[in-house]
Amino acid sequence: MSIPWSIPWTAGADMGMLGLGFFQRALLAGCLTAFICALLSPHVVLRRMAFVGHGVAHAAFGGVALGLLLGWNLTLSGLVSGLVMALALGFLTRRHQVSEDSAIGILVAVGMALGIIALSMRQTYTQDVFSFLFGSLLAVLPGDVPIVVGTAAVVLGLLLAFGRSLWVFTFNEELARVEGHRTELLRFVLMGLVALAVVIAMKIVGAILVSALLVVPGVCGLNLGRGFLGATFIAVVTGQVAVVGGLAASFWSGWPPGATIVLILFLIFLGVMVAKRVQEMTAAESA
Residues of this chain that interact with another protein (CB under 8 A) are 45-46, 164-165, 167-168, 170-172, 174-181, 222-223, 225-228, 230-231
The CA R_g of the chain, rounded to the nearest whole Å, is 19
Of 211, 192, 227, nearest in space to 265 by CA? 211
Q: How far is the CB of 166 from another protein (least distance, A)?
A: 11
Phi/psi-derived region of residue 96, left when phi > 0, alpha when psi is between -120 and 50, beta in every other case: left
Q: Which is nearer to another protein, 120 or 282 (CB)?
A: 282
Please enumerate in sequence order all residues whose Cβ is within 8 A of that of 151, keeping only pairs 6 or more positions apart, or say none: 79, 196, 199, 200
Q: Which is nearer to another protein, 174 or 285 (CB)?
A: 174
Q: Which is nearer to another protein, 76 or 168 (CB)?
A: 168
Q: Which is nearer to another protein, 228 or 255 (CB)?
A: 228
Q: Which is nearer to another protein, 223 or 240 (CB)?
A: 223
Q: How far is CA 14 from the centre of its chain?
A: 29
Distance CA 15, CA 23 (A): 10
Q: Which is nearer to another protein, 162 or 251 (CB)?
A: 162
Of 238, 251, 286, nearest in space to 37 by CA? 238
Q: How far is the CB of 191 from another protein (least distance, A)?
A: 18
Angle at which helix 210-224 crosses helix 183-205, to 10 degrees, equals 120
Q: How far is the CB of 240 from another protein (least distance, A)?
A: 20
Q: How far is the CB of 154 from another protein (least distance, A)?
A: 21
**194-to-45, 57, 161, 261 alpha-carbon distances in Å:** 12, 10, 16, 19
Q: How far is CA 35 from the centre of its chain?
A: 10
Q: How far is the CB of 90 from another protein (least distance, A)?
A: 19
**123-to-82, 96, 117 alpha-carbon distances in Å:** 25, 42, 12
Phi/psi-derived region of residue 254, left when phi > 0, alpha when psi is between -120 and 50, beta in every other case: left
Q: Which is nearer to another protein, 117 or 229 (CB)?
A: 229
Q: How far is the CB of 100 from another protein (least distance, A)?
A: 16
Q: How far is the CB of 176 from another protein (least distance, A)?
A: 8
Q: Which is nearer to another protein, 179 or 280 (CB)?
A: 179
Q: How far is the CB of 250 from another protein (least distance, A)?
A: 32
DSSP state of 135: -
Distance CA 217, CA 82 (A): 22
Rounded to 5°, the CA angle 110-66-187 comes to: 55
